[in-house]
Amino acid sequence: MKQNFILHIDMNSYFASVEQQANPFLRNKAVGVVAYMSPNGCIIASSKEAKKLGIKTGCLVKNAKKLCPDVVLIENEPAKYRSTTERIFSIFSDYTERIEAYSIDEAFLDLTGYIKTWQQGEKIIQEIKKRVKAEVGEWLTSSCGLSWTRFLAKFASDICPKDSYLIIDSVPKMEETFKSVKITESWGIKEATERHLNRLGIFTLLDLKAHPVANLMQSFGKPGYYLWANANGIEIEGVRTQEELLPKSIGHSYCIPKQTNDPKYLSGILMKLCEKTGRRLRESNLQAQGIVSGYSLKYGGGFWQSHKTAEPLFTTQEIFKAAYDLIKTNWPSGKVYMLAVSVTRLQRFPGQLNLFYSPKQKNLTLALDQINDKFGEYTVFPGVMWGTKDNAPDRVGFRKSVNIEANKAKVSYCDHDF
């Protein structure tokens, strides 16, 4: 039977480390990267120095300053993180064509067929870590896990020390590792799942491994089988490349600074969110046949609605009309503090249009995308967006997709000098 080798690489304190790499004066200091620089803005990434002081992801800016008055707060710069990630992933692509970008700061690499032994896998880990420091930035570190399933690879990288690696190469090693951690340290098991498992008499990963799968499926349904299979070292999904993966949805939300229910103002913000959503949709060569849009009110409550559209959504105007029509059915009577739009039911763009669909709007939208790609975002934009330049700025989340260009010319079976 063919031996599988799955490597998971997770960059440590990524956004903050990128900032420290870019600015040496920030190194060895408590650094927090924020979504917004307001007191109620959230820390979206913190340096290892900040984490030691209790400043973690989700901490409010005002609370971070209480924990450490000298904390250095930096508003996030998505372009900087994306370009750094592309350089890191370019290194990954020298070792395999099968890469799954799990998030902007972590990836799965399927090394099956490219290496033959766990020792070769260990040398690849050491080589990748060395190359990232030499070719991208000396301040960038990672935690790595190598095993025969996707779950065990990520589990290994999650529990190993920062800037280190763990190889789970056998069932005895897996069982021994399970003994050393709490069940909630397992990928996919949080407190709510733990309580449910406890009611079944399952308190450790070894308990989960030995529990009858039929009982787990009766209690959890299909996820029960996933829990059991993961604990028994059985592969379920495997590494899935960009071409094989379709996102479930693409969307944007924005907490608006001018809290109001003014139709003109809200329409401008909504159009910008639709433009950002449409750009990402088209970049991925996708179309959508579902829309979700809504708002939250300043003093509580809100409205959210979803709809399956009769025709696929592709252009910004199509997305905006579908989103606006939903909100229009229940226009806010109070002050809105957050707007959101998302497209769902995604599918590959087939290239061939509906018989009654005019290609002019599609071709115009693609032409505008090309102009904005060349001269910068919002060089050309819908008139409804006028005056929204400082609203809904570019943000980057950890689960956003990353384009991977596999360097196929360099990848070959056991190509590296071990």
pLDDT tens-digit series, residues 246-282: 788 899 888 887 888 899 999 999 999 999 999 989 9
Contacts of 378 (CB under 8 A, 6+ apart): 275, 372, 385, 389
What is the bridge-based pairing of β-strands 72-75 and 31-34?
Answer: parallel
pLDDT score recorded for residue 413 = 36
Distance between CA atoms of residues 94 and 410, nearest Å: 6
Burial class (CB in 10 A: 0-12, 13-18, 19+), 148: buried
Q: Into which CATH architecture does domain 1-169 fall?
A: 2-Layer Sandwich (3.30)
Q: Say what percent of the chain tops pLDDT 70.
A: 90
For residues 203 and 176, what is the distance between their CA atoms, to the nearest angstrom?
16
pLDDT at 1 exceeding the cut of 70 = no
Q: Is the pLDDT of residue 342 over 60?
A: yes
Model pTM?
A: 0.75
**Positive or negative: CA dihedral 35, 137, 146, 172:** negative
Residues 229-247 pLDDT 10s: 999 999 988 898 877 777 8
Same fold, 175-243 and 249-385: no
393 burial type by CB count under 10 A (0-12 exposed, 13-18 middle, 19+ buried): middle
pLDDT value of position 412: 41
pLDDT reading at 418 higher than 60: no
Q: Which CATH superfamily is domain 175-243 in?
A: 5' to 3' exonuclease, C-terminal subdomain (1.10.150.20)
Residue 7, pLDDT score: 97
Q: Given pLDDT bands bounded at 50, 70 and 90, which one contains residue 417?
A: very low
For the stretch 202-213, pLDDT in tens is 999 999 999 999
Query: Domain locations in the chain?
Result: 1-169, 175-243, 249-385
Q: Is 170 a residue whose pLDDT tops 90?
A: yes
Q: CA 223, CA 229: separation in Å to the nearest integer?
A: 10
The CATH superfamily of 249-385 is DNA polymerase, Y-family, little finger domain (3.30.1490.100)
**Cα of 2 vs its chain's centroid, Å:** 31
Residue 123 clears pLDDT 80, i.e. is over it: yes
User: In 3D, which of 182, 180, 184, 144 has the Cα closest to residue 160?
Assistant: 144
What pLDDT is stored for residue 27 in this prediction? 95
Residues in the chain: 418
The predicted structure's pLDDT at residue 393: 64
Beginning with the edge strand found earlier in the chain, give each strand of the sheet holding 142-147 in spatial order: 99-103, 106-110, 6-11, 142-147, 165-167
Residue tagged 């870590």 (tokens): 129
Residues 6+ apart with CB under 8 A from 57: 42, 43, 44, 45, 46
